[in-house]
Amino acid sequence: MECMKEYIEEAEKALLHTYNRYQVVLDKGDGVYLYDVEGKKYLDFCAGIAVFALGYNNRKYNDALKAQIDKLIHTSNYYYNVPAIEAAKKIKKVSGMDRVFFTNSGAEAVEGAIKAARKYAYLKDGCTDHEIIAMEHSFHGRTMGALSVTGNPKYREAFQPMIGNIRFAKMNDFESVLENVTDKTCAIIFETVQGEGGIYPAEESFMKQVKALCEEKDILLILDEIQCGMGRTGYMYAWQKYGVKPDIMTSAKALGCGVPVGAFMMTEKVAANSLTSGDHGTTYGGNPLAASAINVVLDLFEENHIIDNVKEVGAYLTEQLDTLAAEYEFIETRRGIGLMQGLVFNKPVGDIITKALEKGLILINAGTDIIRFVPPLIITKSNVDEMIAILRSCLEE
């Protein structure tokens, strides 16, 4: 068996250097634990960045995928397939949206949402100079369209020019949205809870004001639920907490629990007046294997009462993090909803995360000063206690 150090050396010779990876080669997972190639065990509070909601090595999930692999993996979207039909029906049910387009990733879902919004506006007035309002500190993905609405100038700088006519407003500041609205505005896009940008939940009043503005001016509200969706806030989609329904929304990450899938969904009104035959496509999106992952994930969410667990354990995690925040003067505050939480420090958190890793706890940051907690949604209170104990020992040092 090669040791971890050798693997890492090989990786650094072959992979493009776009990530500063932690010095760990992960090998297998079970429940809320991961194991590296040398057999060391880690409690996982990252879940592959809010992806593996059901925990690792779930028997029913694995069996469903294996069965589909033996049956049919791919057909192309020129034909129908049963898993995709089932998955679309299930997504409609849990999201309350009317129509679904499957993608392979979150960024692609955002691309599709942008195209749908532009087409909707184009069909109204025939113009091709429509504007989109996005939020500062937002994150929507790394492809050119998704990057163009991502509110982190550092991510965009070297790749200019972006797609045009994007304006940035301040999240939870309705005045700043109003300042950016023009006759050309076709959509307003934001994450119901900002993830990468620092775990900033949208305020209910802000959502309601933006929604009212959108209705008044026939602007489309696009909510990016790629990270905060799929039960993480204690609601299947975070907007359901506020009852502010988007016109278009995106989903990915936990939607496939590890199989690369995404989707954008829309209301019938938008569907009937935007993308049509020939306007958009994907070779892989919604293929039988990907769709079977969505199906078994949504079945397991129901069977295992995942959302009830998030409500209960999320409240407990909130309490424990608040206690921690009150104890240490270098922790400024806690932000978040359910099992999507951030601890805001008044200094960089990189060293704490590295120390935690040495002690067998996987954490991630959101920006330089925030530790982000996005564990598998099946965690228990005792997993939270275990995490807090390790984190506390890191903070003591």
Q: Closest CB to ligand PLP among 146 and 220?
A: 146
Q: Closest CB to ligand PLP among 195 and 288?
A: 195
Minimum Å gap between C-beta 110 and ligand PLP is 6
Q: How far apart are CA 266 and CA 335, in angstroms?
A: 29
CB atoms within 10 A of CB 248: 28
Q: Closest CB to ligand PLP among 105 and 240?
A: 105
Q: Which residues contact 381 (CB under 8 A, 6 or more apart)?
A: 312, 313, 316
Q: How far apart are CA 202 and CA 5, in angstroms?
A: 43
Q: Which residues contact 3 (CB under 8 A, 6 or more apart)?
A: 37, 38
Residue nearest to ligand PLP (CB): 106
Nearest to 363 by CA among 328, 326, 322, 392: 392
DSSP letter for 44, please.
E
Determine the longest span between alpha carbons in the chain, in angstroms: 64
Residues in touch with ligand PLP (CB under 6 A): 105-107, 110, 139-141, 191, 195-196, 224, 226-227, 252-253
Task: Give the pair of three-digit tokens for residue 134.
Answer: 């996005």
Residues 336 and 311: beta-carbon distance below 8 Å:
no
Minimum Å gap between C-beta 96 and ligand PLP is 20
Q: Closest CB to ligand PLP among 87 and 374?
A: 374
Minimum Å gap between C-beta 262 and ligand PLP is 6
42-55 residues labelled b (16+ CB within 10 A) or e (exposed) = bbbbbbbebbbbbb
Q: Closest CB to ligand PLP among 53 and 394?
A: 53
Minimum Å gap between C-beta 229 and ligand PLP is 9
Q: Closest CB to ligand PLP among 252 and 331?
A: 252
Minimum Å gap between C-beta 377 and ligand PLP is 16
Minimum Å gap between C-beta 104 and ligand PLP is 8
